[in-house]
Each structure stands twice: as C-alpha cells, then as structure tokens.
Structure 1
Amino acid sequence: MRKVKMKLLEIREIAKDTIEMKLTDNYITEVAKPGQFISIALPNYTLPRPISIANIDRDKQELTLLFKIMGKGTNELAGFIPGAEIDCFGPNGNSFPLMSGEMTKVLLIGGGIGVPPLYYLGKQLKKQGIKVVSILGFQSSENVFYEKEFARLGETFIVTDDGSYGMKGFVTDAVTSVPSFNAYYACGPTGMLRALTTQLHNKTGYISLEERMGCTVGACAACVIPTTEGGYKKICHDGPVFAAEEVIL
C-alpha cells in the first residue's frame, strides 16, 4: 500500500445515485489486483472512504471506481470535477484467487454496489480462457449498471427485486438458471452472501464482504468478522476476500 495522488479524468452518473470515476496514476494501476480496494482521503473527513476497484487499464494507466452516493462523504466525492487531484491509499486488502487447472466455467454473483469488483475479475478470468457467467442483482431498473460490460464477458442475467427489469426476485433465484459451473465469486450485502453460501455449500466459492470500515488498514478493528476456526479476522486487512467456508456470516 502506498499513498498516491490520482488525477480525476472522468466522472459521470451511470445509474440512480451511482457514480463512475476514472482516475490515473503510475503505481496503483500497475500493481492492483481484482478484488482489492483503494481508500480516498477527503479534505473535510478524518477517515478515508474505501472503494472497490472496478477496472484497470494498465496501458492507459487508468483505474475505474464505481460507488453509490450514501452520505455526505460520497456526495462530496461525487462533486469532484475532472482535473482534480485526489489523495488515495492503495491498493488495500487481498484479491480474488484466479482459477486455473481444471476450472473451465465460473459464476460471478453481484448485488448492488457489490457488482463493481467482479468486473475486473471477470476480465482477468476471461483472459485465462475461463467461461464467465454473471448474475447481477439490483433493487429496480433505475439501479441497473454495467449490464453491457458484463455481457461482453459472457452470459449475463439481471435480477431486480421488483421485477421492473430482467428477472424478478433475488440472485439466489437466478443461480438455478446456470446448471453447471466449477466455482463462484460473489460480492454484495451480508444477507445475500449468507443465502448464497448456504445454497452453494457444495461448491468452491470466494466472497468479498461489504462492510463499513474505519481506518481501512487494520488498526482500529472496526470491521472484524468471526471465522469458522475460531477468533476473528479484519475485513479491511485480512479480506475483503475470503473463502466461502472461512467466515461466519
């Protein structure tokens, strides 16, 4: 992890209260891996804002972040304009392990703002020749984003709570539409992940936890989670990615 100044290239709203930011630097874009996040320091706030990395273009030294406006901090961040220099720390946390060997088909399952880190992961899996199928869950049609981007990676199912777009229901309902796959990766609300890990208990799986963090570097112990072996792990430091059977949700 290193402190860097990233320059804001582009910023736009891509769905209701959902912002896409593209930034550039010559460090994080070179070393970050799928599943990691960066912490953004805002002038008027003591604690940084952790945001998952949605994509990296190493040739352009460009990093993409997607985040939802949920409070004063993210609202302030959404107000930045291109050309601004932003203090960032990263990359933070661990990454998704990339499948190899016998793995030929994987399932990506994202819920809401848990969708972004799965996009960069999907791109890397596809590069390895692994077939990617995605299930993306949102509250309603106005919340849907990155459908076309995921569709370029492989078959993609959209699920909405109210049925206003795609399938009606939850991501767990759509899992039955994918008859066979070697492993799954998921990111989203804890309730969603709990239901998925129960449903897919006989599959190899990795989950990325959405959790409110404090310091984002493992010093404050504000984001701990119990493990199946006893004790606790810090999501920001030991995660945010864990094997599905490793933690108790």
Structure 2
Amino acid sequence: MKKKIVEVTKVETIAQDTIEMTLAAPGITTGIQPGQFVHINVGSNSSHLLRRPISIADVDLMEQTVTIIFKVVGSGTAQLGQYKVGERLEVLLPCGTGYPIDSINMSKALLIGGGIGVPPLYYLGKKLADQGIEVISILGFQSSSNVFYESKFNQLGDCHVVTDDGTYGYKGYVTDVVDQLSLKYDYYFSCGPTGMLQAVTNKLAYQDGYISIEQRMGCGIGACYACVVPTNDGTNGFKKICKDGPVFRANEVVLR
C-alpha cells in the first residue's frame, strides 16, 4: 500500500447517483488484486477528515489506470463526485486483502453482487476469465435506474440481473435467482450489503465461497480498530475488515 497523488482522467454518471471515475496510477497497478480498495482523501483542513474506502472496479495495466465506482450517499461522496478531469486526489492504494484466486482450483465461478458491491466483482470476473474460468454473474439492484455494467459482465459470461421491484430483469433477490436457475459452479464470490451477504451465505452454506464486506472505516490500515468483525471460530476473536479483509472465506466471520 502506498500514499499516492493520482489524477482524475474520467468521470461519468453510469446510473442513478452512481459515478464511475478513472484515476491515473502509474507504477502501482501491477500489484492490485481483485477485491482490494482505494482509501481516498476527499476533504481538506477540517472537512471530511476520514478517508472514503472505494472498491476497485477495474485496472488497466497498459494505461496504468484504476477505475472506481461509487454511489453518492452523503456529503463525502458528493464532494468526490464533483472532481473534474485533470484534478488530483490523495489516495492509499491498494488497500486490504483481495480474492485469493491464484490459489483456488476451479473451472466455473459464480459472482453474486448487490448494488455498489457489484464493482469489485467486475475486475475479479475479468481476471477469472483471463485464466479460462467460466464466469456466471448475478447482479442485484433496487430498480432499473440503478442498473450498471450489465453489458460488461455479459462479455465475461452469462449475466443475470435482478431488481427488487421487478422493473428490470428478474424480480426479487439474488438468492431467488440462484434457486430458479439451479446453477452449477465450483466457488462463489459475493459482495454487497450485509443483509444480502447473510442471505447468500445461508443459502449456499454447503458451497465453497468468499465474501467481501462493505464497511465504514477509520484509518484503513488496521491501526484504529474501527472496522472489526467477530470471527466464527469460537475464539471470541476479531478480524480487521480494512486489513484482514474486506475479503473473507464464507463463514469465516460473523455477519451482523
């Protein structure tokens, strides 16, 4: 992880309140693993003292750029969304632990994303596809206005979109589609709201998989203990989401 000044090279609204931003990050893109995140300083002086953790959606090794996607949900992300091409941001990059795909033997993977948990799964899917692994994706959104990256996931393999209100794709939850399609796969990889992750891990309790937890953070480097999660090994221990995660083996930690 390095503190870096990066330049904004692209800003685009891709869905309701959802912004895609590309950052020039020369010299550090080769070390980024799927599932890691960027910790961004969006304020100055006394404004927004805490950095914002944003998942990495894509990495272009040729162009030496990193793409992030975030939803405007408060003043911090609203301020981040106001940055223009050519402006600069101070970031910590890359942060956290990613999906350990190089140590997993599989031929077919299921990706399950919900809302702003979809972006990190895209770079994961690209890396899996590059390794010749068949990729199936289930992407959940609140409504049709929130859907993004469907075409990109379709380029990786079969992609199924679900909306809570049924205005696009399947109606219901991502776990409903798992049931309906009777999918076969070796491992699943999931990222999204805690409630969704709980439903996914309960539904797929007998499957091998990994989850990525969305969480507010303090320091982003494991020093402040602001983002701990209980372990599920009976030791009453804790894991730091920002350092030990955000990716964990399914059922390694207690979701709450």
TM-score norm. by structure 2 comes to 0.95
Residue aligning to 2:183: 179
Residue aligning to 1:120: 123
- Gap change, CA 1:105 and 1:178, over 3 Å in 2: farther
Equivalent position to 1:110, from 90, 109, 113? 113
Residue aligning to 1:162: 165
Q: Describe the superposition over 1:161-220 as per-residue Cα deviations: whole angstroms up to 9, x where unpaired.
A: 000000000000011214211110000011100111011011110000001111111111
Question: What CA distance in whole angstroms lies between the structure 1 residues aligned with 2:248 and 2:35?
Answer: 10
Residue aligning to 1:245: 251
Equivalent position to 2:198, from 194, 199, 204? 194
Q: Describe the superposition over 1:120-158 as per-residue Cα deviations: whole angstroms up to 9, x where unpaired.
A: 000000011000000000000000000000000000000
- Gap change, CA 1:236 and 1:245, over 3 Å in 2: same
Equivalent position to 2:143, from 140, 143, 166? 140
- Divergent runs of 4+, >3 A: 99-102
Residue aligning to 1:64: 67
- Superposed, which structure 2 residues align to 1:74-113 within 5 Å? 74-98=77-101, 102-113=105-116
- Gap change, CA 1:50 and 1:228, over 3 Å in 2: same
Counterpart code for 2:84: I
Question: What CA distance in whole angstroms lies between the structure 2 residues aligned with 1:49 and 1:195?
Answer: 26
- Gap change, CA 1:101 and 1:183, over 3 Å in 2: closer
TM-score norm. by structure 1 comes to 0.98
2:136 aligns to what SS in structure 1?
strand
Cα deviation for residue 28 of structure 1 reads 3.0
Question: What CA distance in whole angstroms lies between the structure 2 residues aligned with 1:61 and 1:234?
Answer: 29
Identity %: 53
2:242 aligns to what SS in structure 1?
helix
Equivalent position to 1:228, from 232, 241, 255? 232
2:93 aligns to what SS in structure 1?
strand
The unaligned stretches of length 5 or more in structure 1 are none
Question: What CA distance in whole angstroms lies between the structure 2 residues aligned with 1:179 and 1:15?
Answer: 28
Question: What CA distance in whole angstroms lies between the structure 2 residues aligned with 1:185 and 1:27?
Answer: 28
Equivalent position to 1:130, from 113, 116, 133? 133
The unaligned stretches of length 5 or more in structure 2 are none
Question: What CA distance in whole angstroms lies between the structure 1 residues aligned with 2:109 and 2:168?
Answer: 24
Cα deviation for residue 27 of structure 1 reads 2.9
Question: What CA distance in whole angstroms lies between the structure 1 residues aligned with 2:104 and 2:31?
Answer: 24
Size of the aligned set, in residue pairs, is 249
Structure 1 window deviating more from structure 2 (184-193 vs 215-224): it is: 215-224
Equivalent position to 1:211, from 215, 220, 226? 215
- Gap change, CA 1:101 and 1:207, over 3 Å in 2: closer
Structure 1 window deviating more from structure 2 (152-161 vs 96-105): it is: 96-105
Cα deviation for residue 30 of structure 1 reads 2.2
1:21 aligns to what SS in structure 2?
strand
